[in-house]
Structure 1
């Protein structure tokens, strides 16, 4: 069963036949990973349409870690072709990463919320989300990416800055340390 969300252009919504009497068995599944209701955000629709992406596999707010270690609230969109990082305050695209450029996904073996997207040709992306397993599932569905589980891994926080992230079980949760290499 597919879990993809087909994004229709809202201008052409009148052309789409509607059948409200009988719900589609897959309709709840299709919207399962769209936690921000992408079609209700015109700027996201415009962005996706401009880039030619039609299928959203995951959409939600996440915390993105900058090279300096600051956390920024961002909208993460995963389509069948790319990853989008959007600033929800300014409605602006901060970064678009082609899935073909992604080498692998790194995450810990513990119940934390961290996930690193490793991109050899650029700097990597470190994010935190309570829905990290759904994000990984969307990546794998889109591009069958390698997923590496380890309680310690390195990532390029900036073009000239390598950091190491360590996870260890602690009383009441997971202790996470981000170290400069």
Structure 2
């Protein structure tokens, strides 16, 4: 049987790659809001949830503030703990921060910045059409990010709005919906994520191409 994984449970900091069945999570915007426009499957309880942005209270964490100041970033649009898929296919808890210039991935175990991605380098975000927690950030000049969060909708909306506000040419981040999509797990490794709606949630498979 597929393993059930609750995103917020820290005991799953390293989950081996296999078929995963995530409990459906709530979304944060109504159906008539960009960038979703009713494409995603929604639950009634999720339609009027408010954004909080900084769920970690970043100013209270000196190591996070030090990372931001070193990069010259000051405005935090979003911050929370999420699950990130490593190149080897395991899930690891990390801190995700989005500023008006970049995406930060921080290892909270060692208080270290693992990756900084300029928003200008992001081409698109991929999601399924179902109520799961997964999203992939596609960066053509680097390898991509596959993450899972119960606040996925808010993260994607923040990325779209931040990219739009900083683009002098009118560039708008693409949000692509498909129940199977590919992402570059490493520079020389492509994987496919497949989603299937099942009783009680969404079954997710991650396969090597």
Q: Same fold (TM over 0.5)?
A: yes
Q: How do 1:14-53 and structure 2 match up within 5 A?
A: 32-53=52-73
CA distance, structure 2, for counterparts of residue 50 and residue 67 of structure 1: 27
Q: TM-score, normalised by structure 2?
A: 0.71
1:165 aligns with 2:193: yes
Structure 2 gaps, min length 5: 1-49, 165-172
**Larger gyration radius, structure 1 or structure 2:** 1
Query: What count of residue pairs does the alignment treat as equivalent?
Result: 152
- Bigger share in strand: 1
Residue 150 of structure 1: which of 159, 168, 178 is its match? 178
- Pairwise CA distance, 1:168: 0.9
Deviations 1:117-150 (A, max 9, x none): 0000111000000000000011011103111111
SS in 2 for 1:34: coil
Structure 1 gaps, min length 5: 1-28
CA distance, structure 1, for counterparts of residue 113 and residue 186 of structure 2: 18
Give the equivalent residue in structure 2 for 1:11.
Answer: none
Q: CA RMSD in A?
A: 1.1
CA distance, structure 2, for counterparts of residue 109 and residue 128 of structure 1: 15
CA distance, structure 2, for counterparts of residue 62 and residue 81 of structure 1: 20
CA distance, structure 2, for counterparts of residue 116 and residue 123 of structure 1: 11
CA distance, structure 1, for counterparts of residue 65 and residue 71 of structure 2: 10
Residue 120 of structure 2: which of 100, 103, 109 is its match? 100
Give the equivalent residue in structure 1 for 2:16.
Answer: none
CA distance, structure 2, for counterparts of residue 166 and residue 80 of structure 1: 31
SS in 2 for 1:49: helix
- Pairwise CA distance, 1:37: 0.5
Deviations 1:35-67 (A, max 9, x none): 110000011111111111111111000000011
Q: TM-score, normalised by structure 1?
A: 0.82
Give the equivalent residue in structure 2 for 1:85.
Answer: 105
Runs of 4+ in 1 over 6 A off after TM superposition: none
